Amino acid sequence: MQYYKSGFRGGSPDVKPAAPDRRPRDGFAALPDQVDVLIAGCGPAGLCLAAQLAQFPEIDTLIVEPKPGPIEKGQADGVNTRTMEMFQAFGFGEQVKRESYWVNQTAFWAPDAANADHITRIGRVQDVPEGSSEMPHTLLNQARVHELFLEVMKNAPTRLQPSYGWALRDLQIDPDTEDHPVTVTLENTGVNAGELKTIRANFVVGCDGARSNVRRAIGGEMHGDAAHQAWGVMDILANTDFPDIRQKCLVASANEGNMLILPREGGYLFRLYVELDKLNPEERVAERNFTADDMIAAANRILQPYMIDVKELVWWSIYEIGHRLTDRFDNVPAGQDRDPRVFTAGDACHTHSPKAGQGMNVSMQDSFNLGWKLAQVFKGRSAPSLLRSYSAERRAEAKRLIETDHQWARIMSAPPGQSELDGSDMPRFQKQFIENLEFTGGLAVKYEGSALIGPPTHQALAPGFEIGCRFHSAPVVRVADAMQMQLGHLAEADGRWRIFAFAGADSGAGSPLYDLAAWLAEDPHSVLRRYTPADADIDAVIDLRAIFQQSFDVLLDQQVPALLRPKTGPFGLQDHEKIFCVDHKGAGDIFEMRGVDRASGCMVVVRPDQYVAHVLPLEAHQALSAFFDGIFLPAQSG
Ligand code: FAD
């Protein structure tokens, strides 16, 4: 983390200097008549987007929420490894690591062959496959995740806070203007309940959950089916003689249904997902009037010979499983050639069963994908057509999620006994669980080739940095201060692109890496010179970092290109944190771990949302230009 570039300031470095002419954005400020981006809904999708946009004072963002304030408990709790990597970019990955429960192992319980009325442990697997991410899979109350995003928003230059007590009722898009074409009607749900307010916006993002008004307003329809199965979820403080209560467990009983146990933050709390009854095709779960006592009784039956003694029921909910997806995540129907103005994200455009722990994760990943694109358009770096890629990229991922989740939910709700052995020595749900691990970790996302994702022509130069997939971090040592760290942790949610230049065997003056740095810095046609405003820091848009194969002590005395020690900020202070080398202290050699070609090196281009956009030879200056030309507009000043 770097700070004091603009001068020394006491206090927490997380609190960024406030933007001078910002609109008052605290919850009590009057609503403005027009904004750049209006976000509906303070769930994980809306808050993740707001935290991203809050970093950019030039974007006037408003986020509204009908509830009177933040939620305090309940809803989702699974934070997968990919989301933890994203939290790192927002600056609170370490905080979540400290507070959360870490899912290290998952245990499987099934009917005991000697007594089918009792369950017995039949297997255990490591929950995060070795080397798949440097971050853990964690469990933490969704409300706490909200709080962490709210903190980022409040500390951002815009000091953004939600406007509670307002619901988006409807919106209209004026096709004949480019100037704030979306007119939004908000309804007060607080002290002035029923009061209406219209606001004009350039863009609207519906993060307003499964019953989204934004989706309805743009004609989006949910398609899918229901599994006609009632489930209950409860967060409890309880005593039990069940031995694996501090492990994530999948439990299948012979005659009483299935259950999922999720230990939670703090050491005492845990969550149970309990299978209740099958529903008739026309029946809704609410008609059954299930209670928390029904759930506790079912849990005790499933867990035999063990029992649970509940001391405090913290939160509970009963639901039925549905898998639904909209045709598109924006307001432009298929086949129409225009740029979108209104988007939906999260549960507003896809719903699935909670037990694969994806709801909160996928919702945040949706809006992380959209956030940097909106920023790029507002900053004049890209044409608005960039925003078409949001629906294209995220809908494909949501479709995959629903297909996998569908299969998983059916296995978890299979009639008693059927989800057990399938003829092999491993129960079907354990086998499927292992097969799904990369997917449930959020690591299987792979965006298709597009203007934003280059072709795999040179993928062989670094097969471990797969184009279209998230940048898979690995250890390095920062040369200036011999600091061991993760290369991926350089990425902040700041809207910048990154080029990681891996030096080949020839890495001194005159080598391909030096030539690349010289071209980037000096050639008026280079991507850095073309896309960075003349009055901005040289790394304001595209951040170049170099990774060498030698150890730090050799490199310390080596002359490096000026671009790798740039002078930036109002004082022109030298930046010492652009140069890295392999870790020689045992954490691992990044070249070896990711298969980077040691002879030739390569460059890895990474998008602001941490996805690998391209892998190219260090000499491929023109190919790099061609790639960026397809995304960026030439820089304007300011
Ligand atoms: P949400 O979290 O639903 O957030 C939508 C927000 O929009 C809400 O704050 C809502 O008040 C607001 N809103 C609604 N209407 C409007 C409007 N008209 N204008 C403006 N704002 C509006 N997932 C699990 O994995 N495990 C669980 O046990 C689990 N339990 C859940 C229980 C409940 C009661 C709910 C609602 C969800 C649960 N989920 C669970 C799902 C999980 O919480 C969601 O997948 C996740 O929160 C999706 O995030 P989101 O931001 O898209 O939507």
Whether 597 maps to a domain, the answer reads yes
Atom of ligand 1 nearest to the CA of 359: 45
Please check whether residue 294 lies inside any domain of the structure. Answer: no
Residue 488 Cα to ligand 1 middle (Å) = 30
Q: Give me the residue label for tokens 């909160």.
A: 360
| The pLDDT value given to residue 637 | 57
Dist. CA 358–CA 360, nearest whole Å: 6
- 604 within some domain: yes
How much distance in Å is there from the Cα of 210 to the middle of ligand 1?
7
**Cα-based torsion angle of the residue sequence 503, 506, 508, 512 in order, rounded to the nearest 10 degrees:** -60
Q: Residue 169 burial (CB < 10 Å; 0-12/13-18/19+)?
A: middle
The first and second tokens of residue 473, run together, are: 């971090």
Pocket of ligand 1 (CB under 6 A): 40-46, 64-67, 75-76, 78, 142, 167-168, 207-209, 213, 233, 317, 346-348, 354, 357, 359-360, 363
Q: Which residue has its alpha carbon closest to ligand 1 atom 53?
A: 209
Q: How far is the CA of 217 from the centre of ligand 1 (A)?
A: 19
- Strand pairing report for 101-102 and 138-139: antiparallel
Contact partners, residue 396, CB within 8 Å, separation at least 6: 447, 448
- Residues near 193 by beta carbon (within 8 Å), at least 6 away in sequence: none
**How many folded domains does the chain comprise?**
1
Q: How large is the angle between the packed helices 44-53 and 359-378, nearest 10 degrees?
A: 30
CB under 8 Å to 439, separation ≥6 — which residues? 400, 401, 404
Give residue 423's pLDDT. Answer: 55
Residue 572 to residue 604: CA distance in whole angstroms: 28
- Closest atom, ligand 1, to C-alpha of 46: 51
Provide block-wise average pLDDT over 10 residues at a time, the chain (638 residues): 91 93 79 97 98 96 96 92 98 98 95 95 92 96 98 96 97 96 97 96 97 96 81 95 97 91 97 84 76 94 97 92 88 93 96 78 97 97 97 93 79 56 66 84 93 98 98 96 96 97 93 96 95 95 96 80 94 96 93 98 98 98 97 80
Whose C-alpha lies nearest to ligand 1, atom 45? 359
Q: Which of 144, 169, 186, 347 to mutate to test the pocket of ligand 1 (most atoms within 8 A of CB)?
A: 347
- If DSSP codes are grouped into helix, strand and coil, which group holds residue 536? coil
User: Residue 154, class by beta-carbon neighbours within 10 Å (0-12 exposed, 13-18 middle, 19+ buried)?
Assistant: middle
- Nearest to residue 72, comparing CAs of 152, 167, 145, 173? 145
pLDDT value, residue 514: 95
Query: The domain that contains 498 carries what CATH number?
Result: 3.40.30.20
Distance CA 67, CA 42 (A): 9
The residue contributing the CA closest to ligand 1 atom 4 is 43
Based on the number of CB atoms within 10 Å of its own CB, is 28 exposed (0-12), middle (13-18) or buried (19 or more)?
A: exposed
Residue 489 lies in a domain: yes
Which residues are CB-contacts of 509 (< 8 A; sequence separation ≥ 6)? 559
pLDDT of residue 416: 46
The residue nearest atom 52 of ligand 1, judged by CA position, is 346
Cα 531 to middle of ligand 1, angstroms: 39
> Closest residue (by CA) to atom 16 of ligand 1?
208
Dist. CA 24 → ligand 1 center (Å): 27
**Of ligand 1's atoms, which has the minimum distance to the CA of residue 45?**
51
Cα-to-centroid distance, 628 and ligand 1 (Å)? 37
Residue-number span of the structural domain to which 611 is assigned = 456-629
For ligand 1, atom 30, which residue shows the shortest CA distance?
A: 75
Q: How far is the CA of 428 from the centre of ligand 1 (A)?
A: 31
What is the structure's pLDDT at 422?
A: 54
Determine the residue of 360, 362, 370 to mutate for testing ligand 1's pocket, defined as the one with the most ligand atoms within 8 A of the Cβ atom: 360
Mutate to test the pocket of ligand 1, among 42, 63, 103, 208 (most ligand atoms within 8 A of CB): 208
> Which run of H or of E encompasses 409?
helix 388-412
The answer to whether residue 139 is domain-embedded is: no
The answer to whether position 520 is within a domain reads yes
Examine residue 419 and state whether it is found in any structural domain, yes or no: no
Nearest CA to ligand 1 atom 37: 75
Q: Choose which residue among 39, 48, 75, 364 to substitute to test ligand 1 binding: the one with the highest number of ligand atoms within 8 A of its C-beta.
A: 75
Q: Tell me the three state secondary structure of residue 589.
A: coil
* Cα–ligand 1 centroid distance for 49 (angstroms): 15
- What's this model's pTM, rounded to 2 decimal places? 0.96
pLDDT at 413: 63
Which atom, in ligand 1's list, is nearest to the CA of 210?
3
Q: Answer yes or no: is 39 within a domain.
A: no
Instruction: Give CA–CA dist 247/262, Å, rounded.
Output: 7
